[in-house]
């Protein structure tokens, strides 16, 4: 028994060591390695398929356009299975064994969080995600500035809402919000923005979804004697809340979030009662750089680009490859600084696709600044490593939802600077 046990120990150790030793020593020169961690299997797998394809397309475009520092790029993609321990292990392997200076990933915030805390920040490697939106990751420098994302967070909408409520002169606002990470994030960023832009939140009332009545919450909100209401939530509950709000004598000056831009909401409350409301929504970017990506993707994979994370994943890798070309060496700290130089205000505009990437590489070689316009529009990171997107203001006219005005991405970037500086 004893001897058999020992041989089992030895063979098990040999098995594990053998698998790990199969990894060859990290190459110092060509090819340049870029890592990826995505939930290729597990509950996220259905949406990850297109995201992984977008990543593959980006790497193909980078290589066709000259690669990184003259070397072809080798993309090493690992599966996190939607499980934090597996994701952390995969990221650690990429950084320590494959020696990638930068990697992309991942989708679930529950996996991205521990990777930032235990791999990205301590090992000083760059991480760009297509999809994790949880706000704490980029706050107060806990990622050491090594974490970026190409997806706009709820901050974009919250700031846009604040700029619109300020523009309309809304005062003494009460915020009624759904008690989820989305609702609490929106409230926090809205309050930060109105403090700079003008306006005042006099009460905050959280609510839980799927209740038959919100009389208690509405009564509490009205007790603060507000002159306007900002309602953050989802249409079904919002219909109940707004009806109760109006029937108890609440003001008609109401601001709403993106989810309420649906006729279910308008008809649910009654179009004639909501003539004065307005709301916000994210707007879709348009332009040749977006079309070029859509066309390339559709041609290669015979599928459309609809779905979460497809455009943002492409941009995550394009930004990474451009930054690696700009960076003086391929170390995390240099690449981190270079990420902020892929979209310089006075740079030469470059778009998506291999030809544009080639143009960008030539400009970089000549020491000229570039200005990257990606599949999601202009990519400019704020101090926290977040991007913004364009937004629009909608209102209800003759019982229909119409666009009131648009907020371009440039306006949004100006707005971010006003709020955060």
Partner 1 sequence: MISYLVFFACIVLILSLLTLGLNLQWGFTGLFNAGVVGFYAIGAYTHAILTASPQPQYLGNFGLPWLVGVLAAMAATALAGWLIGLVTIRLRGDYLAIATFGVAVSIQLVTLNWEPLTGGSQGLTRIGKPFAQLFETPFGFNLWFLGLMIVILGTTYWALDRVLLSPWGRVLKAIREDETAAVALGKSARRFRLEAFVLGSTLMGLAGALYVSFIGFVSPFDFLPIVTFQVWAMLIVGGSGNNRGAVLGALVVWGIWAGSGVAVTKLVPPSRAAQGAAIQVILIGLLLVLVLLFRPRGLIGEAAVVSRHVND
**Min CB(164)–partner 1 separation in Å:** 26
Angle between helices 310-326 and 332-339 (to 10 degrees): 120
Largest interatomic CA distance in the chain: 86
| Closest to partner 1 by CB, 4 or 272 | 4
Sign, Cα dihedral of 377, 381, 382, 386 = positive
Whether 388 contacts 144, CB under 8 Å: no
**Which tokens is 312 given?**
């943002």
What gap in Å lies between CA 347 and CA 69, rounded to an integer? 20
**Which tokens is 286 given?**
């348009």
Residue 202 Cα distances to 225, 232, 248, angstroms: 9, 16, 19
**Min CB(97)–partner 1 separation in Å:** 5
**Min CB(255)–partner 1 separation in Å:** 23
| Closest to partner 1 by CB, 204 or 244 | 204
What is residue 177's three-state secondary structure? Answer: strand
If phi > 0 it is left, if psi is from -120 to 50 it is alpha, else beta; for residue 274 that is: alpha
The per-residue DSSP string of 213-272 comes to --HHHHHHHHHT--SEEEEES-HHHHHHHHHHHHHTT--S-EEE-GGG-SHHHHHHH-GG
| Closest to partner 1 by CB, 2 or 398 | 2
| Closest to partner 1 by CB, 32 or 246 | 32
**Min CB(56)–partner 1 separation in Å:** 6
**Min CB(48)–partner 1 separation in Å:** 8
**Min CB(253)–partner 1 separation in Å:** 28
What gap in Å lies between CA 191 and CA 188, rounded to an integer? 5
**Which tokens is 162 given?**
């604040």
| Closest to partner 1 by CB, 134 or 355 | 134
| Closest to partner 1 by CB, 164 or 217 | 217
**Min CB(139)–partner 1 separation in Å:** 9
| Closest to partner 1 by CB, 89 or 200 | 89
**Min CB(152)–partner 1 separation in Å:** 17
| Closest to partner 1 by CB, 126 or 412 | 126
| Closest to partner 1 by CB, 16 or 30 | 16
Q: Which of 182, 181, 242 is closest to 213 using CA atoms? A: 242
Residue 267 makes CB contacts below 8 A (sequence gap 6+) with none
**Min CB(21)–partner 1 separation in Å:** 9
Whether 104 contacts 56, CB under 8 Å: no
Angle between helices 45-64 and 310-326 (to 10 degrees): 30
| Closest to partner 1 by CB, 193 or 222 | 193
Tell me which residues touch partner 1 (CB under 8 A).
1, 4-5, 8-9, 12-13, 15-16, 19-20, 22-23, 25, 36, 40-41, 48-49, 52, 56, 59, 74-79, 81-86, 88-90, 92-93, 96-97, 108-111, 113-114, 116-119, 122-123, 134-136, 142, 179-181, 184, 188
What gap in Å lies between CA 320 and CA 326, rounded to an integer? 10
What is residue 407's three-state secondary structure? Answer: strand
Distance of CA 21 to the CA centre of its chain: 36
| Closest to partner 1 by CB, 83 or 414 | 83
* Alpha-carbon dihedral angle through residues 105, 111, 113, 119, given to the nearest 10 degrees: -70
**Min CB(109)–partner 1 separation in Å:** 7
**Min CB(41)–partner 1 separation in Å:** 5
Convert 67-95 to b/e letters by CB count within 10 Å (16 or more is b). Answer: bbbebebbbbbbbbbbbbebbbbbbebbb
Q: Provide Rg for the chain, Cα atoms.
A: 24
């Amino acid at each position: 028994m004893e001897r058999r046990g020992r041989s089992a120990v030895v063979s098990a150790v040999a098995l594990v060591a053998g698998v790990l030793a199969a990894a060859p020593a990290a190459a110092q020169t060509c090819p340049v390695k870029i890592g990826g961690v995505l939930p290729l299997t597990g509950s996220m797998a259905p949406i990850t398929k297109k995201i992984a394809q977008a990543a593959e397309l980006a790497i193909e475009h980078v290589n066709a356009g000259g690669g990184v520092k003259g070397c072809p790029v080798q993309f090493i993609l690992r599966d996190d299975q939607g499980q934090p321990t597996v994701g952390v292990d995969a990221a650690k392997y990429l950084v320590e064994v494959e020696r990638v200076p930068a990697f992309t990933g991942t989708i679930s915030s529950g996996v991205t969080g521990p990777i930032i805390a235990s791999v990205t920040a301590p090992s000083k490697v760059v991480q760009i995600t297509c999809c994790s939106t949880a706000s704490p990751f980029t706050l107060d420098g806990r990622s050491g500035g090594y974490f970026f994302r190409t997806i706009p967070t709820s901050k974009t909408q919250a700031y846009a809402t604040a700029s619109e409520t300020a523009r309309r002169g809304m005062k003494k606002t009460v915020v009624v919000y759904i008690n989820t990470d989305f609702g609490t994030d929106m409230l926090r960023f809205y309050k930060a923005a109105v403090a700079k832009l003008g306006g005042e939140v006099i009460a905050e009332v959280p609510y839980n979804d799927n209740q038959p009545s919100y009389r208690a919450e509405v009564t509490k909100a009205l007790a603060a004697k507000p002159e306007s209401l900002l309602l953050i939530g989802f249409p079904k509950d919002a219909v109940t809340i707004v009806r109760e709000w109006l029937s108890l004598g609440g003001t008609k000056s109401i601001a709403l979030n993106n989810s309420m831009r649906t006729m279910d909401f308008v008809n649910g409350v009654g179009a004639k009662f909501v003539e004065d409301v307005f709301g916000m929504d994210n707007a879709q970017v348009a332009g040749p750089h977006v079309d070029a990506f859509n066309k390339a993707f559709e041609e290669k994979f015979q599928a459309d680009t609809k779905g979460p994370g497809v455009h943002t994943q492409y941009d995550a890798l394009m930004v990474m490859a451009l930054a690696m070309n700009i960076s003086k060496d391929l170390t995390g700290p240099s690449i981190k600084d270079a990420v902020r130089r892929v979209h310089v205000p006075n740079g030469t505009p470059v778009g998506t696709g291999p030809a544009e990437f080639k143009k960008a590489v030539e400009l970089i070689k000549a020491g000229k600044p570039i200005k990257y316009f990606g599949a999601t529009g202009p990519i400019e990171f704020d101090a926290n490593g977040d991007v913004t997107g364009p937004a629009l203001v909608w209102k209800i006219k003759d019982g229909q939802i119409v666009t009131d005005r648009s907020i371009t991405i440039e306006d949004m970037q100006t707005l971010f600077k006003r709020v955060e500086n």
